[in-house]
Amino acid sequence: MFAQPLVTSAAVAASVLFILSLGGLSNQESAKRAVWYGIAGMALAVVFTALGPGVSNYGLMLAMVLVGAVIGTVVARRVEMTQMPQLVAALHSFVGLAAVFVGLNAEMERLRVEGLRAAGESLDGLAAFAARLATKTPTEIAFLQVEVVLGVFIGAVTFTGSVVAFGKLAGKLDGKPAQLPGGHLLNAAAALACVVLAVYYLAFGGMLPLIAITVLALFIGYHLIMGIGGADMPVVVSMLNSYSGWAAAAIGFTLSNDLLIVTGALVGSSGAILSYIMCKAMNRAFVSVILGGFGGASGSQMAVEGEMIATTADEAAAALDDADSVVIVPGYGMAVAQAQSAVSELTRRLRAKGKEVRFAIHPVAGRLPGHMNVLLAEAKVPYDIVLEMDEINEDFSDTEVAIVIGSNDIVNPAAQDDPNSPIAGMPVLEVWKAGTVIVCKRGQGTGYSGIENPLFFKDNARMLYGDAKQSINELLTKIG
């Protein structure tokens, strides 16, 4: 068993490693090293916390760690990159549920200590957490109750919200916004009821108000995320990441665990910052997105005129042979088809012919922030030709061929042209300004958000129908 000073030192070291990990993840080249920083920090945190003072039941703890390690290994091996967004959402739900359980258990232990005191029984031999409760002043107990009610509320919202996000990302739930009659008023009424119950709990304590808050918060999390459209799911995932961090911080306060407080604050603040950045990239107010203000029709949308013109691999290859500048726009369809390696090979061959090839990445491409960057890095695409929207958008007018692979909303001109479009005002990649736009798409359906894309009907757009991987591989046979 380690002494408390050593545990505290380990917590500081782990916190530094977590900060280095977050900082490194902002750059593709340093991301792998950053992941190892995070792994080392978590290993340090787990070992020194488990072997710290006041911890017991090592047999049960070891069994749970082994079970969790086995499950985590199996899931990690089975989950494809296309399933990573829903996996992240599912993991957020575990943190939220843990916060609820810790909060309810803390209140049970508090009531137990009060009961023993009222009965005049000895408080000797209590478990570590109950023993700490026995030494707290009334003021400290009041602060503990505030921590408990916040942890339970945030944790419950995070749990059901993450479950719904998982369902929408996995296609098990409809991606369109859906709310019960009353809409936001139901959420507001439930939140107000939680405030009233929290005041009652802080005044009188007891399990019933906490359980009632849990039930209402579970409803809020469910109904809130159900009311958010599929186009906003990347923001929802980062928002739930923030919620899970604050839930973890609340657990840390309840358990008097400094490392958990620091880690939760890091996750909570970084998730909130990422959500803000993504909302800015979508030209949406953060509150509007979170309250379900985006993803559904906002009026009569402009009619789409023209027709989709199909093309063949031979015609697409001829256009690429004649072009000197090419921009590739990857989207979720590329991830689903696992076409990144074929795209990387196409890039290599075109560059070998002396053509300028670059990638344009929208901040919310895919269904998870950084999704496309990870796929391209996995396929060995050079980092220096992968550019963000702001870096490349002005270059489309000088681009001879733009290849759109499985993207829809992020290349939709309706964001600029149609004020009644659900994505009106959202910054998009202006691929339609290129000389020729080749769109790799399975069929003529709409994208994940269900919004029609006028790009596909423009005179300079050509639709290369079929599985993205097969389409690119067929292109490769035409390009030596």
Residue positions annotated with a catalytic role: 409
Taking the C-alpha atoms of residue 351 and residue 75, their distance in angstroms, rounded to an integer, is: 38
Taking the C-alpha atoms of residue 210 and residue 200, their distance in angstroms, rounded to an integer, is: 10
List 356's β-bridge partners, or say none. Answer: 325
Which helix or strand (DSSP H or E) is residue 352 part of? helix 340-352
Rg of the chain over all Cα atoms, to the nearest angstrom = 26
Contact 472, 343 (CB under 8 A): yes
What are the C-alpha distances in Å from 203 to residues 81, 209, 217?
49, 11, 20
Burial 385-424 (b: 16+ CB within 10 A, else e): ebeebeebbebbeebbbbbbbbbbbbbbbbbbebeebbbb
Cβ neighbours for 34, distance < 8 A, ≥ 6 positions apart = 20, 21, 22, 23, 24, 25
What are the C-alpha distances in Å from 130 to residues 126, 210, 252?
6, 19, 16
Dihedral (Cα; 16, 62, 154, 240), 10-degree rounding: 60
Q: Which of 187, 172, 194 is nearest to 220 (CA)?
A: 187
The count of residues in the chain is: 480
Taking the C-alpha atoms of residue 203 and residue 28, their distance in angstroms, rounded to an integer, is: 51
**Block residue for tokens 């491409």:** 365
Sheet holding 436-441, edge to edge: 386-388, 356-361, 325-330, 401-405, 436-441, 461-465
Taking the C-alpha atoms of residue 238 and residue 281, their distance in angstroms, rounded to an integer, is: 14
List 325's β-bridge partners, or say none. Answer: 356
